[in-house]
Amino acid sequence: MNRTAVLFLFMSAVAPVLSMLCCSKCHENCTKMAIKRWRMDLDVGRSFITEKTNKSLLAPWKYIPDVNNTRLPVTILTAKCQHDRCLNNMASPVRFNQALRVLPITYNIRVYYRERCQDPRHYKLVPGTFEVTVGCTCARA
């Protein structure tokens, strides 16, 4: 799967994150949140890369959860490359190709971080970006 296809599929997975908050304004530009779905998981991998497909890649990866309780979404799955060098095809007696290295494919997404206000029942949502590794690819060393 090429990089463009991975990014397109990843961007389509971000849609559930939008419009998940109901806000009511309070003093000091703070927001009291009533979150409809408290644990919002951004699952970037399970919908389009199966375990069987991933094992056949030259630069396989696995998804690990990145959990931050002060961030919305709280859990984001990020890809972790399994090797530093790309694998050879199955017919080759040498396991790794020394001419090719593994590089992560990253994408920045919008997230929101909670900051406490003077009133401990209230907090601000501060927009930020989070770099997600969506997969791995091979490049010449």
pTM: 0.62
Residue type, 133: T
pLDDT per position as a tens digit, 27-66:
555 555 544 443 444 444 444 555 566 667 888 999 999 9
| Residue 4 pLDDT > 60 | no
Q: What pLDDT does residue 3 have? A: 46
Inter-residue contact 112 to 19 (CB < 8 Å): no
Cα separation values, 17 from 36, 42, 48, Å: 12, 7, 18
Question: How many C-beta atoms lie closer than 10 Å to residue 89's C-beta?
Answer: 8
**Local structure of 4: helix, strand or coil:** helix
pLDDT per position as a tens digit, 8-30:
344 444 433 333 343 444 555 55
CATH architecture of 3-140: Ribbon (2.10)
Q: Taking the domains of the chain in order of start, what are their residue ranges?
A: 3-140
| Residue 116 pLDDT > 50 | yes
| Residue 106 pLDDT > 90 | yes
Largest CA distance in the chain: 68
Q: Report the alpha-carbon distance of residue 138 to residue 89 in Å, rounded.
A: 13
Q: Report the alpha-carbon distance of residue 84 to residue 57 in Å, rounded.
A: 14
CA geometry: angle at 124 spanning 123 and 130, to 5°? 120
Question: Between 91 and 32, where is the model more confident?
Answer: 91
